[in-house]
């Protein structure tokens, strides 16, 4: 998903005058996968990259969801305040999918923790 975000951000880099940060946001999100692959990180380096990624994701959320109620114009010819439909909807849905993936991971972790605590409380039968 990150690679696709980088590609879509690069392809549509100039196609959202309404909020030019959106394609740049996607481009950096896609580039972050390269950062993780190329850097031999220790804990401090990994923590710094994670903190940057977290705040970058938050900034992208603010931009994407801020114009959602406006339902941006997708027609390049009618107004200066447009955003390419493919670009905007891709950014919107990949951001939503990120929340879904994190939710599933969190729920899976909670279930595993509950299972481990249940297993620890069971008496051992001889």
Query: Are 5 and 29 a contacting pair, CB within 8 Å?
Result: yes
Whether 66 is in a domain gets the answer: yes
Is 71's pLDDT higher than 80?
no
pLDDT given at position 20: 86
Q: What is the pLDDT of residues 96-114, one digit of tens each?
A: 998 999 899 988 888 877 6
Which domain, by its residues, includes 36?
A: 2-93
Whether 123 is in a domain gets the answer: no
What sign does the CA torsion over 8, 14, 20, 24 have? positive
DSSP state of 13: T
Whether 72 is in a domain gets the answer: yes
Whether 110 is in a domain gets the answer: no
Q: Which residues pair with 73 in a beta bridge?
A: 82
Q: How many domains does the chain have?
A: 1
């Amino acid at each position: 998903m990150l690679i696709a975000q980088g590609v879509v951000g690069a392809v549509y880099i100039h196609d959202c005058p309404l909020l030019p940060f959106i394609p740049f946001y996607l481009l950096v999100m896609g580039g972050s996968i390269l950062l993780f692959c190329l850097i031999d990180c220790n804990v401090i380096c990994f923590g710094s990259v994670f903190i940057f990624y977290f705040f970058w994701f938050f900034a992208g959320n603010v931009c994407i969801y801020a114009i959602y109620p406006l339902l941006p114009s997708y027609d390049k010819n009618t107004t200066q305040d447009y955003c390419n439909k493919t670009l905007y909807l891709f950014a919107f849905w990949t951001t939503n999918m990120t929340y879904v993936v994190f939710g599933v991971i969190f729920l899976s972790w909670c279930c595993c923790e509950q299972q481990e605590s249940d297993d620890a409380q069971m008496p051992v039968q001889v």
